[in-house]
Amino acid sequence: MRKVRCAFCGFGDSRVIDSRAAEDGSAIKRRRECPACNRRFTTFERLEETPVLIVKKDGRREQFDRNKLLGGLLKAFEKRPTSMERIQSLVELIERELRASGDAEVPSEKIGELVMQHLPEVDQVAYVRFASVYRQFGDLNNFMQELQRIMASQKSGEEAKK
């Protein structure tokens, strides 16, 4: 078993006080205490996964960064009544779907499409905000077409519930 160095004083070992699942069970959160300085700190243990490379429109490749996805979603959800926990679970869902595909390289468009697929279920205003950037609406007509599509799908969903 590997020893974990204290985050504060650098002592070569620490003891686990509490362990629990985090991030939908994909990580373990551990509270630790240093026997030398008695300070407590938190560590996360994650399964090391094969990196997923994102292929940009211009052909560049970069490693998938969940923080970039989170940042984009935070802009879409700005001033919306959606909890940070719900936004983070959306990021985790999209990341899980990307990794489940088994592809080592994924076009950036696939991430955008996954976001577009899941956002309407969470917040339609955030969906329209994200869509306006992702789809790069050139004019008001494109924007209105997207709104009409959302309203039509919402209406058909309501009729199916009846």
The β-bridge partners of 43 are 30
Give the C-alpha distances (Å, rounded to integers) separating 147 from 27, 128, 151, 154, 156: 38, 7, 6, 11, 14
Structural domains of the chain, count:
2
Find the domain containing 25 and state its range: 1-47
Residues 79 and 36 in one domain: no
Residues 65 and 142 in one domain: yes
The pLDDT score that the predictor gives to residue 146 is 80
What is the mean pLDDT of the segment spanning 106-125?
93
Residues 43 and 61 in one domain: no
Is the pLDDT assigned to residue 1 strictly greater than 70? no
Is the pLDDT assigned to residue 46 strictly greater than 70? yes
The one-letter amino acid code at 34 reads: C
CA distance 121 to 93: 13
Residues 111 and 60 in one domain: yes
Residues 64 and 22 in one domain: no
Residues 33 and 95 in one domain: no
Are residues 93 and 82 in contact, defined by beta-carbon separation less than 8 angstroms?
no
Q: Take residue 132 and report the two structure tokens written for it.
A: 């306006």
Residues 144 and 107 in one domain: yes
The pLDDT score that the predictor gives to residue 118 is 95
Residues 14 and 77 in one domain: no
Residues 24 and 62 in one domain: no
pTM of the model: 0.64
CA distance 97 to 114: 8
Residues 115 and 38 in one domain: no
Residues 72 and 149 in one domain: yes
Residues 118 and 81 in one domain: yes
Cα–Cα nearest to 38, from 7, 79, 76, 80: 7
